[in-house]
């Protein structure tokens, strides 16, 4: 079925359907929510170091704690609510990456472990892992070659 719509009609429909974003407010909310996530991570780090963990162990414990929190919030649908208001502020920290892996897995679990979770778990995070690994490999090779010539 073909729909005949003129450019002017399409533009009117587009303007009616789209809404203006309050970019200043969105930026502020992203900053505050993303900053709060980072502040929570810093607080956990201080707590873990106060409990006697070394710097390296405390850093690992903070990462694990933030990832676990993100996955639990994703499972209960709370991370999506937070992301609705926080926008990019919820994507930048490690919690955003954990959410990107957990959300498709939870969404497609009804299709089974292999054809659902196994196939869809890295739909969002896969490109990040792929190109992050590629970039790290290139960087490592360049660094290696620089040290050979030094």
Question: What's the chain's Rg over C-alpha atoms?
Answer: 21
Query: Is 90 exceeded by the pLDDT of residue 150?
Result: no
Alpha carbons within 13 angstroms on the beta-carbon side of residue 88 total 6
Contact (CB, 8 A) for 70 and 102:
yes
Alpha carbons within 13 angstroms on the beta-carbon side of residue 67 total 11
Q: How high is the pLDDT of residue 7?
A: 86
The widest CA-to-CA distance across the chain, in whole angstroms, is 70
Q: For residue range 86-123, what is the model confidence (pLDDT) as tens digits? A: 888 888 778 888 888 888 877 777 777 777 777 777 77
- The residue with greater pLDDT, 125 or 35, is 35
DSSP code string of 42-95: HHHHHHHHHTT--HHHHHHHHHHHHHHHHHHHHHTTHHHHHHHHHGGGGTSSHH
Give the pLDDT band of residue 1 (cuts 50, 70, 90): low
Give the pLDDT band of residue 141 (cuts 50, 70, 90): very high
Which residues have CB under 8 Å from 125's CB, separation 6+? 97, 100, 101
- The residue with greater pLDDT, 94 or 124, is 94
Query: Is 70 exceeded by the pLDDT of residue 137?
Result: yes
Give the whole-angstrom CA distance, residue 93 versus residue 60: 15
Q: For residue range 23-75, what is the model confidence (pLDDT) as tens digits? A: 889 999 999 999 999 999 999 999 999 999 999 999 999 999 999 999 999 88
């Amino acid at each position: 079925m073909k729909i005949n719509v003129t450019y002017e009609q399409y533009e009117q429909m587009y303007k009616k359907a789209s809404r203006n974003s309050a970019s200043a407010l969105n930026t502020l909310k992203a900053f505050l929510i993303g900053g709060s996530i980072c502040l929570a991570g810093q607080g956990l780090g201080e707590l873990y170091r106060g409990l006697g963990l070394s710097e390296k162990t405390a850093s690992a414990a903070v990462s694990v704690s933030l990832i676990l929190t993100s996955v639990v919030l994703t499972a209960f649908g709370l991370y999506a609510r937070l992301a609705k208001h926080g926008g990019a502020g919820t994507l930048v920290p490690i919690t955003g990456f954990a959410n990107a892996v957990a959300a498709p897995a939870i969404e497609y679990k009804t299709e089974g472990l292999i054809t659902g979770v196994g196939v869809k778990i890295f739909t969002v995070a896969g490109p990040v892992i792929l190109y992050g690994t590629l970039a790290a490999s290139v960087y490592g090779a360049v660094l290696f070659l620089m040290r050979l010539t030094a």
